[in-house]
Structure 1
Amino acid sequence: MSTAPQPPQRPSVRVTVAQLQVSDDHTANRQVVEDAFRTAARTRADVLVLPEYASGFDPRGVGAEHAEPLDGPFVTMLRDRARATGVAVLAGTTLPGDGGDARAVNAVVAVDGTGALVGVYRKVHLYDAFGHKESDRLVPGPVDAPPLVLDIGGLTFGVLTCYDLRFPESARRLVDAGAQVLVVPAAWASGELKAMHWRTLAIARAIENTAAVVAVGQAGKGVTGRSLVVAPDGVVGLEMDEQPQVRTVDLDGAALLRVREQNPSLANRRYTVVPVA
């Protein structure tokens, strides 16, 4: 069961939300990310959040052709930029498969403000829905891997990605590990009702977990964009349209604690979440 969080170290944590348009040109994508870092540094952000597949993307599907190792150009650039600017970063990327599997791994990497790689989340729920079949190209992450949570400015951030948003257990498992902010890098596929689902699910995850939600989508062909930041009471504080843009917001840690005091639904729970093989 969740325990009461400690007061934040600072009144707020500043988050830069980068709704980027990502192509299959990895060199060009790194340049776009470097621009986002400059914006984050200029606004004195604590953390930059990039979308799913920020290193390289094809709306028809992403697989081994876009995979780079953790010591490859994309993550190396993230670490260099974080070290130079002091801005932590959470970014979606694609890693090579393990054990000779020809498929790749959809991952989110966490780099702190010193440039250290502090965690990797490998996407558990692959997008085998709405006519897509990610499992043809990607291997899922282990369901029993420790949740990826990290402290940024006194708030605990927990990481999931895209299709995971449709599975409330994923978010609740992060909250059980201490998450106060749920970060959702995504390349949310466009289509009938999809933008409505994206918005509704992000708000639901915030309300039911009394957690802030930072849902960052890709812009461009085949994806929805419409990034949003939701407060723990479900109020949407930032919402974008379909176009590429970079915005910065402050997350109020004291307000989060007040919401959890007024609505102690986490303390009132009667069920736990456990991985299913």
Structure 2
Amino acid sequence: MRIALAQLSSSTDPAANLGLVRRYVAEASDAGAELVVFPEATMHSFDRSPVEAAEPLDGPWASSVRSVAAEHGTTIVAGMFTTTASRRVRNTLLVTGAVEASYDKLHLFDALGYAESDTIQAGDGPAVVELGGVRIGLATCYDIRFPALFTRLAELGAQVVVVPASWASGPNKVHQWRTLACARAMDSTCFVVACDQAEPAVVSRKPTGVGHSLVADPYGSVLRELGSAPELAVVDVDLSLVVEARERMPVLRNARRFPPGA
């Protein structure tokens, strides 16, 4: 499978961000990408309150992204914020193109003095989609710190897990990001495709990204890592490596399950 990492720096203007989506998808499609992965908060950055800009999955922004996917004959994963019946919204991954699905972020970033749960409502469960016979798990940013989610996605059949992110900056954060992506690949014996927001020109206290989007193989080796600036990269992943890794290192089969309180 040929996968594109679209590392961009989104602004607080959804229309301008849609323009970036159009440009990156056109370039990725020309390069033969079947799947184009954008960061969390592609619709608008965390510099704007998600509550102010959230739209339904059939709203104008998501509908425009669907049109881009259809125009170029590819599948897109992009982060947006969607409305709910409550005052809080969802941090959602839109999946559109050859497959139509969505995933709402499960683990909310209530850490380092930031409280995502003030405005975001957590999702209800894991999600796996199938694209061209490949099972793809979905996760978002802070989810990458929770190994059980990734092993569960593998149990549900995932061979690849995409992780759009808007990774908060700070000491050792790039090291943590890279280490966690590689560890989750080994935990799940999946390819992990981790696409972060580029580092913005002016770093704020909000989680706006550090760049360093990467692809890790099921053994935890980094196949490609970007720098901190906006960039598009196309990576070919050989799914036979998942089969090989699961035979040689059968951590999913060997894992013991412990009851609560054990």
Q: Is the 8 A contact 2:25 2:36 kept in 1?
A: yes
Distance, in Å, in 2 between the alignment partners of 1:231 and 1:273 is 31
Indicate whether 1:195 and 2:174 are aligned: yes
* Structure 1 CA distance for aligned equivalents of residues 129 and 259 of structure 2: 20
CA contact (8 A) 2:165 2:209 kept: no
Q: How far is 1:69 from its partner?
A: 1.2
Q: Hey, what does 1:77 align to over in structure 2? A: 64
Percent of residue pairs identical:
39
Counterpart Cα distance in 2 of 1:62 and 1:266: 39
**Matched residue, 1:181:** 160
- Secondary structure (helix, strand or coil) at the match of 1:266 reads helix
**What is the rounded CA distance, in whole Å, between the counterparts of 1:148 and 1:62 in structure 2?**
26
CA-atom RMSD in angstroms: 1.6
Q: Which has the higher contact order (CA 8 A, sep 6+)?
A: 1
Taking structure 1 as reference, are residues 261 and 184 closer, same or farther at Cα in structure 2, changes over 3 Å only?
same
Aligned residue pairs, count = 253
- 1:172, CA displacement in angstroms? 1.4
Q: Which amino acid aligns with 2:96?
A: V
The structure-2 alpha-carbon separation of the partners of 1:87 and 1:273, relative to structure 1 and needing over 3 Å to count, comes to: farther
Deviations 1:195-238 (A, max 9, x none): 11111100000112111000000012342111010010111001
Give the C-alpha shift of residue 158 in structure 1. Answer: 0.2
Of residues 234, 256, 262, the one that matches 1:270 is 256
**CA shift at 1:103, angstroms?**
1.6
Aligned to 1:129: 111
Residue ranges of structure 1 left out of the alignment (5+ in a row): 1-12
From 194, 205, 224, give the equivalent of 2:184. 205
Q: How does 1:95-106 map to 2 (within 5 A)?
A: 95-96=82-83, 98-99=84-85, 101-106=86-91
TM-score (norm 1): 0.87
Unaligned ranges ≥5, structure 2: none
Runs of 4+ in 1 over 6 A off after TM superposition: none
Q: Which amino acid aligns with 2:92?
A: A
Counterpart residue identity of residue 95, structure 2: A
Cα distance in 1 for residues equivalent to 2:49 and 2:28: 27
**Structure 1 residues 182, 272: closer, same or farther in 2, change over 3 A?**
farther
CA distance 1:239–1:92, shift in 2 (3 Å): same
Structure 2 SS opposite 1:252: coil
CA distance 1:273–1:35, change in 2 (3 Å): farther
Aligned to 1:156: 135
Is residue 56 from structure 1 mapped to residue 44 from structure 2 by the alignment?
A: yes
**TM-score normalised by length of structure 2:** 0.92
Report deviation, 1:31: 0.2
Task: Verify: 1:92 aligned to 2:79, yes or no.
Answer: yes
Structure 1 residue 239 and structure 2 residue 225: aligned? yes
Greater Cα offset, 235-244 or 216-225:
216-225
Q: Is the 8 A contact 1:169 1:273 kept in 2?
A: no
Q: Which amino acid aligns with 2:80?
A: T
Letter paired with 1:39: E
